[in-house]
Structure 1
């Protein structure tokens, strides 16, 4: 993740077994977010009464709180300027470090001085929905058909739609061209329909011959907060981490066991560095310093990898029963208690239109969530040959997986995945017992 009201009938698409998400949301813990309510020294949303603040002061200007790199900040400013040019109020885009965003929002909520809008990772939306902090999108039924279902699912429950799925990012397999030249892999898959199966991917990785004693074939991007990306393999195998009603860990799941065996074999066969486990170093670091020949990596890393000085390309994630990719990216949400809620919701709708989304994604090097944004229309400055492939890969982000990673307790679930997978990948327990270690740990945080 490039590094988170009143019930009424909805006209949303069927959600199958996950339609009971409200039961999970209603039972979430008391804390607003994983960041808790720790103080954010020096944070201010502006001076009340000037028309420039979040919270209770002024009505002339909206305040949106976000984190952003230079390109993203430029893209957000363009959205704000465009909205004002069309007759909307001015929008003050207030940028804070990513590590401070949740604390800043929570501090504003506690002191009755929140921003009117803020940017949030999909995996953090559930915690705010549970606390009834977010405004329900009034034109959800009109917008929904234009969005890919998995992303709409990330901001929607039975009570409503709480924000717009603004953009996404996801993973593909990057390949060091020279490092795999002698492996005889042939042309890499260039369409989703021809993506490697698990068996074909394992064969390809096994044929890569490291050139030095300290080099390896592969690294997977499941380190630290990215531990949830292991669930790609679980979903590809048709398995689940959580039960279908999202209230407990799925036990003895055949797909999860198959995924665990498959991914543990990367370590057991010496195909990945030991230090690339879930508590280890970022997979992309191993790729950029040419310790590994192949790497799972998100599109947001391409600009950094471009500076490494070697040729590389990308191919799609391997597939088993399903093609499945990880949910990255962020939503834009409005605060329900804002005196400028109506204008804030209008800004969300403006940001969610196809033209604005396409321009934002092109500038910020991220991926659209609308299905009517033509990848060919996106003018990416970084690797324009690969970004359209990432756009295709994002269409394999599945609702069944999204529902599991946006439950309110997911930050705690993800921390358990990080710790338990590290023990399992580097340990010697039998596979079924190792899976039980993981599911027992997940169950422990779901029942707190």
Structure 2
């Protein structure tokens, strides 16, 4: 599945991943309620590999806790959040559900999730990456577990680079191209490769929030440090907006790969119409069967004033009105045990959220040779970045990003006007949260 079709992003951004910001129809009344005192109901979406991994974890939990049943209820990503909204409103929500980080704040801030503070000690909390633990907290209290993450790096076609005379790509985050260097690479590819665009970016549809990576790289913010007011109208915001508008002006990206298009980065890359794709690691199982391994590699996102990346991946939460709070919390802790997390990430080709797994060798099912670069890229994500995406009102902010970035890229709306519109929409979103 492509990132914007699955996230949340991905938004995903993330996304990651893509965020279910616009409310979706498709409520299925058969998926109702918790399953009784010895049954945990768990609603989720996922790829075949992810679903198989969740089912295996459910069976393992049942073996550990005799008499307990884990009932998995599958949803499409497109229906997931509309269904959850209806079930929560009707008092028939499952005990547990999968949720991308950018949607999580909306649920936790409205009091719909189980406060996990009593179940996770300070030592437990310290076991997770700070940026991801920040993403599951509201007012310092955790309302989910950070199950995994994914991030965006740059896949590139080795054959196309060779044809353009590009013989070196950065092999570490520290060596990543600067923005100027990246533009020079794109200009060379555009000149040397006929009928091929230099790259495609994964900001389609609800993945619009991935544009924030460029803003953060420029040293900007979408929200101020108190997360209470817009901060995008800045010199850094102008630089990021003008730089990304140039992608379309210069013909560096396909014209049909703008925010509201359906030209997703994995399909465009495997079709051979672009030389590079900004793609999440979880897309590798989709990309790899379509391309010979020797044809493509990975490098790092360009650096501006600093390195940055998007917040992808998903958390798992328990609903506040579960009949089984103790059992639900026990299952959440089970999901994020080191070995269980390792197996899930290996099978789904995702990155773990536990510190202890950062330097451990994981046997990824697809392209393990590329995953160390993704892991290094993920270190560019900071708690300050995740905090801006995890606010309860981010869904509305992302909707504004979709509309205004489309106007900036396709209709050439001036950069300062675009930033002002985003800031005004952000102010209204924060006021209504």
> TM over 0.5: same fold?
yes
Classify 1:430/1:109 alpha carbon distance in 2 versus 1 (closer, same or farther; 3 Å). closer
1:12 aligned partner: none
Q: TM-score, normalised by structure 1?
A: 0.86
2:50 is equivalent to residue 72 of structure 1: yes
| Residue 43 of structure 1 pairs with residue 30 of structure 2 | yes
Q: CA deviation at 1:37?
A: 8.7
Moved more, 107-116 or 270-279: 107-116
C-alpha distance 441-354 of structure 1, shift in aligned 2 (>3 A) = same
Find the counterpart in structure 2 of residue 346 from structure 1.
330
Paired residue for 2:269? Answer: 287
Q: 1:336 to 1:242 in 2, by over 3 A?
A: same
TM-score by length of 2: 0.89
Deviations 1:182-219 (A, max 9, x none): 33333322222222222222222222146665321111
1:440: how far off? 2.8
Q: Relative to structure 1, is the Cα distance of residues 326 and 257 closer, same or farther in structure 2, using a 3 angstrom cutoff?
A: same
Asked if 1:205 is matched to 2:192, the reply is no
2:409 is aligned with 1:409 = no
Shift of 1:140: 4.5
Deviation at 1:303, TM superposition (A): 1.7
Matches within 5 A, 1:188-203: 188-203=169-184
Partner of 2:202 in structure 1?
221
The CA RMSD over aligned residues, in Å, is 2.1
Residue 93 (str. 1) matches residue 93 (str. 2)? no
Q: CA deviation at 1:309?
A: 3.2
Cα displacement (A) at 1:142: 2.5
Matched, 1:296 2:278: yes
* CA–CA distance in structure 2, aligned partners of residues 243 and 446 of structure 1: 12
1:327 corresponds in structure 2 to: 311
Cα deviation for residue 113 of structure 1 reads 2.2
Change (3 A) 1:84 1:194: same
2:151 counterpart of 1:170: yes
Deviation at 1:398, TM superposition (A): 1.7
The 10-residue stretch of structure 1 (35-44 or 72-81) with the greater mean CA deviation from structure 2: 35-44
Where in structure 2 are the equivalents of 1:40-439 lying within 5 Å?
40-45=27-32, 54-55=33-34, 58-87=36-65, 89-137=68-116, 138-209=119-190, 213-280=194-261, 281-310=263-292, 311-374=295-358, 376-439=360-423
Contact in 1 for aligned 2:190/2:252 (Cα 8 Å): no
**Residue 312 of structure 1: how far off its partner (Å):** 0.9
State the shift of 1:222 in Å: 1.0
Deviation digits for residues 344-394 of structure 1 (CA, Å, limit 9, x no counterpart): 001111111211111110011111111211455211121111122212212
CA contact (8 A) 2:25 2:79 kept: no
Structure 2, unaligned runs of 5 or more? 9-19
Secondary structure in structure 1 of the residue aligned to 2:98: strand
Cα deviations by residue, 1:277-320 (Å, 9 ceiling, x for unpaired): 11122233321211111111111211221233351111011112
- Determine if contact 2:218/2:236 at 8 Å carries over to the other structure: yes
Over residues 408-429 of structure 1, what are the superposed CA-to-partner deviations in whole Å (9 max), with x where a residue is unaligned?
1212211111111111123344
- Bigger Rg, structure 1 or 2: 1
Q: Using a 3 Å threshold, how does the CA distance of structure 1 residues 68 and 431 change in structure 2: closer, same or farther?
A: closer
Give me the whole-angstrom Cα distance separating, in 1, the residues matched to 2:339 and 2:113: 25
Q: Distance in 1 between matches of 2:115 and 2:320?
A: 8
**Alignment-derived partner of residue 3 in structure 1:** 7
Q: In 2, Cα distance between the equivalents of 1:225 and 1:64? A: 24
How far the C-alpha of 1:324 sits from its partner, in A, is: 0.8
8 Å contact kept, 2:39–2:69: yes
Give the 3 Å change call, closer, same or farther, for CA 368–110 of structure 1 in structure 2.
same
Q: Is the 8 A contact 2:131 2:386 kept in 1?
A: yes
The runs of 5 or more residues in structure 1 that have no matched partner are: 5-32, 46-53
State how far apart, in whole Å, the 2-side matches of 1:316 and 1:156 are: 29
Matched position secondary structure for 2:355: coil
Q: CA deviation at 1:331?
A: 0.4
2:311·2:381 contact (CA, 8 Å) conserved in 1?
yes
**Superposed displacement of residue 35, structure 1:** 5.7
Structure (1/2) with the larger helix percentage: 2
Q: Tell me the distance in 2 between the aligned counterparts of 1:68 and 1:309.
A: 23
Matched-pair contact (CA < 8 Å) for 2:127–2:356: yes
